[in-house]
A and B are shown apart, each in its own frame.
Chain A
Amino acid sequence: MPACCSAGHSGGSRAGAGMHAHRHSSGCSHMLTMFKVVSTSDGARRGELATASGTLPTPALLVYTHRGGVLNLTPDLLEKLPDAQAVQIDGLQFVNQPKPEVLQQAPGGGRRFLALDAPPRVLVATARDPAIYEYLGAMRQATKEWASVSIHTGAATVTAEQYVEAVAALQPDLWVALSDDIPNDSRSDRCPKSVDRTVAWLPACMAAAAGAPALAGAGALAAVQGGQYVNERIRCAEAAAKQPGLAGVVVAALGTGESPELRATIIAEVTARFPEGALRMVSSVGTPEDVLEAVAQGIDLFDSAHLVNLVAGGYALSFPVTPEEEAAQQAAAAGPPPAAGAAGETAAAAGAAADGGAAQEQCAADRGEDDSKINLWSLAYRTDARPLLPGCSCFACANHTRAYLHHLLQTHEMTAQVLLELHNTHHYLRFFAAIRDGIAAGRFGEYRAWFLGRRQRWLVEGR
């Protein structure tokens, strides 16, 4: 049974290297062994998560879902993203409409009900929609018995048992325990209460999971709350680390206004309370720079909140994923610039190219462009016949132009979001692959320095 510690003891031969590298001993030997660290580089770790749905290489991006759908991507389009090996799904979205029994009774079970069964994907059930942060949980007081959450049917109260029932119906590979999820700036009296409840609900969730056959092979992650109070975060982490049968930890409620320094401190303090072999996830940490910082602190799993926001804003990711790509981009921009302009592809680009360097910087700002993304709402793309990102092999770039995306946004056509989600997900999956390659090659620090240097050049020198 997953909720007991037997796997940790008997499965020694299967245990990863990190499993035995304990920094803290209390209760840590009870960790599940589905995860192993393969290699490390400059604080980052390249790992493998072995699940019934396949082995997921980490650090990994979990594709976002909303009520079971990959936001705008129907299954045929999701298949165009073969590297989308893992998806995140909010268990609270299955407490009601549909109720858990609708999934339980569905032929083939919850996974098939959601069409997430084939091809097999690693399913990670969370206790929060990472793209929507509802403050209701903080405004309304939860009690020891139930969490107060805001879901698609309105405000609701959810007990640990109800939550685990919904999670079990999803047949996940990993699931996050229910916690009293509050934002960073919650008051000093609210945070300890949140920690108290979170600490109490963890064993309740584990007990409920022990009785759910669907969770027999699934790994459980404890959520660590505490808002901006590091001592509360530590208190929550220490209590959670005592729980037997966990597969890892989620540093929860990030991306809610904390400073980069505070986030780094919280991640460091929380992860230090768990053994090296514990899987580490963060919630709502999303920009490329934020991801790199968290990876450098040994984080393994990330959700796609950032991509949801990018799509909603009409952005397409454009940053080079490797130094080689940066060189290629620079060559394309500088090499035969008159040719590119003269190709007549873009009247606007031709106009921009005619201007000098300083003017060009201004144009970049006018285009709603920075070093990592372009904004397709910008009028600069009205007649831009290039793909969203030249050289990109995704379905959207292989088939459509910036001009078409601009038009679809201007006319509020739903196909715009479909194509942007395809591109951005494809691009971010490549970014994560590059991160893993960097770690595996033992030069993650170099990769990170290159990436951040690019960002600095943009901010300081304007490119």
Chain B
Amino acid sequence: MAGAGAPPPALGDLPSSSSPALKFQVLAQCGRARASRMTLPHYVCETPMFMPVGTQGSVKGLTSGQLEDLGCQVILGNTYHLENRPGSELVAEMGGLHSFINWPRGMLTDSGGFQMVSLLHLADISEEGVTFQSPTDGKRMLLTPEHSIQVQNRLGADIIMALDDVVPSTAADAARFEEATHRTTRWIDRCIAAHGRPHEQNLFAIVQGGLDERLREISLKGLVERDTPGYAIGGLAGGEDKRSFVKVVSQCTAGLPAGKPRYVMGIGYPLDIVICSALGADMYDSVYPTRTARFGVALVPDGVLKLKNSAYARDYRPLDEECGCMVCRRYTRAFLHPLAAKGLAFAANLITYHNIAYMMRLSAQIRQAIKEGRYPEFVRQFVARQFPKGDIPDWVRDGCQLAGISLDGLAAATGVATAAAGAAGGQAQGGGAAAAAAAAHRDSGGVAGVAGGSEAAAAAVGAAAGASSTIAAEQQQPDRQG
């Protein structure tokens, strides 16, 4: 609930929805951001939330007991991988995925469609479905919308995903995007028809349309009509430019029902989660925090620590001085440095543990800030720490502007780049949106007008796009997510 200050609005005034296996209640709104409660068959979740990925039935190196200790609410399983090994029929025989891996809380399985992108050279896509070649035994396997749903029904996750036609967001083929958008809408009907457990599992539709505003609008319209318990924004986090990314997220969150959960797929960079939450998204997943841990990279409020670097050989601080997790209480950067440099599993497990703790803490901080009506200030502080020199990337500025959050004070505080000043100038041309954003500086209530005025904000972004930028290469995130 909202903290001190303005009396909290009655829950009845806040958006909500109820489906046979999912209840969603927005608890607090702050600009476009919202904190919500999502009741799933296995767990009552608080959003915004990050969901760690347990591709093949385990979050690599951790036990399900540790994931509970860490406060994870929902974990993912990958349908494609689980169908390969051990097979959904075996999982069903063992009582479903929850029972098989002994995870009592929420689970989400994807459709298998993402592997259209990640394993594309092995996939052949037609109207009927996707033909994969198994990377383990080379067998061909046809994944249709019906088959995907049947497999996910057997796995038994709380949330299951529609099979969508995913095109890599970096593809240049407009016709392919057009085809995929319409096919995704055709396939959702086949998914809904095939769904055998609607009272125990929630089928989420996935908005597609690449980076094309018109196609996204078509996709939104078609899917919202189908009235699924929740929605995902797909086709992103595939290496597209980030300014397009925030624009698409903003368009989709604005176009989706206010009372239903919104899940941005494949998002795991902390900054992305902060910005997407500002735009009204609720759920995120990515292998990034766990995968990057195995490469010796720890997530901290200032960015990342690349522990292989010899600069940490004598650094006796914990990974994150603000983190109270088991790893930060017991170990130092100096201990982890030589082990991470050698790629030892022990170091990977410790850093994985910390990175998940970090993501859980970040999610909780986001929720708290929203409930206390100070999310814009939270975003400003977060961005200021990640970019102490004030070299804030344009896409972050775009995202904040779309969310009605002003970053004005941040760039001004630095003497760094004329580009930053240019970007700020670009923002100023946003007129009304910028004024609203300035109001947000004082009071989160000030951004209320922006939520409805995303077009004006989008126009401002267009103007800002003209400003030159010198986003440091180091700010371009490494390592694509998979």
- Interfacial residues, chain A to chain B (CB-CB below 8 A): 66-72, 74-77, 97-98, 102, 105-107, 113-115, 152, 347, 382-383, 385, 395, 399-401, 403-404, 407-408, 410-411, 413-415, 417-419
Contacts and interface: CB of A to CB of B under 8 A. Distances in A.
A417 B56 contact: no
Nearest to B57: A407
B65 interface: yes
Nearest to B60: A414
Contacts of A75: 326, 330
B413 interface: no
B61 A414 contact: yes
B345 A411 contact: no
B51 to A, nearest CB: 18
Given A75-B326, A403-B100, A418-B349, A102 B334 contact: yes
Interface string B58-72: 111111111001000
B208 to A, nearest CB: 30
Contact of A404 (B101, B314, B346): B101
Given A71-B346, A106-B334, A385-B94, A98 B313 contact: yes
B221 interface: no
A51 B341 CA distance: 34
A345 to B, nearest CB: 9
A348 B32 CA distance: 54
A401 to B, nearest CB: 7
A404 B339 contact: no
Given A75-B330, A404-B57, A67 B65 contact: no
Dominant SS among interface residues on chain B: helix
Contact of B58 (A68, A71, A401, A415): A415
Nearest to A347: B93
Given A404-B102, A414-B345, A417-B345, A102 B313 contact: yes
B334 A98 contact: yes
A66 B346 contact: yes
Given A67-B344, A383-B90, A415 B335 contact: no
B58 A408 contact: yes
Given A74-B349, A76-B326, A411-B81, 7 more contacts: A67-B342, A67-B344, A102-B313, A102-B334, A401-B100, A411-B57, A415-B58
A414 B349 contact: yes
B27 interface: no
Contacts of B331: 115
B422 interface: no
Contact of B332 (A74, A97, A113, A401): A113
A407 B65 contact: no
Given A72-B349, A106-B334, A403-B100, A395 B57 contact: no
18 contacts: A67-B346, A69-B350, A70-B346, A71-B346, A72-B61, A72-B345, A97-B338, A382-B90, A395-B65, A403-B86, A403-B90, A404-B101, A407-B86, A407-B100, A413-B57, A414-B60, A414-B349, A418-B61
Given A68-B335, A404-B102, A399 B346 contact: no
A399 B334 contact: no
A26 B323 CA distance: 58
Nearest to B94: A403
Interface residues of B, number: 45
B85 interface: yes
Contact of B57 (A106, A114, A408): A408
A102 B312 CA distance: 11
B295 interface: no
A428 to B, nearest CB: 20
B400 interface: no
B245 interface: no
A415 B62 contact: yes
B348 interface: yes
A404 B69 CA distance: 20
Contact of A419 (B59, B63, B327, B334): B63
Contacts of B90: 382-383, 403
Nearest to A407: B86
Contacts of B332: 106, 113
A67 B338 CA distance: 9
B316 interface: yes
B381 to A, nearest CB: 29
Contacts of B326: 74-76
A166 to B, nearest CB: 14
B353 interface: yes
Contact of B316 (A97, A106, A399, A419): A106
Given A113-B334, A414-B61, A415-B62, A105 B101 contact: no
A415 B334 contact: no
A77 B63 contact: yes
A347 B313 CA distance: 53
A407 B58 CA distance: 10
A417 B330 CA distance: 22
Contacts of A76: 66, 69, 326
A258 to B, nearest CB: 31
B319 to A, nearest CB: 13
Nearest to A101: B314
A413 B60 contact: yes
Given A114-B335, A399-B64, A152 B342 contact: yes
B63 A69 contact: no
A369 B380 CA distance: 60
B63 A395 contact: yes
Given A76-B66, A102-B313, A419-B63, A404 B93 contact: no
Of A69, A72, A399, A415, most buried by chain B (CB within 10 Å of CB) is A415
Contacts of B58: 408, 413-415
Contacts of B93: 347, 383
A231 B327 CA distance: 50
B349 A399 contact: no
A154 to B, nearest CB: 12
A107 B316 contact: yes
A385 B326 CA distance: 31
Please give me the 3 A-B residue pairs with the lowest Cβ-Cβ distance, nearest first. A69-B346, A115-B330, A415-B58
A177 to B, nearest CB: 25
Interface string B75-101: 000000100011000100111000011
A147 B348 CA distance: 32
B148 to A, nearest CB: 20
Contact of A415 (B61, B69, B94, B100): B61
A147 to B, nearest CB: 21
Interface in B302-334: 313-314, 316, 326-327, 330-332, 334
A69 B344 contact: yes
B177 to A, nearest CB: 34
A336 B93 CA distance: 23
Nearest to B317: A107
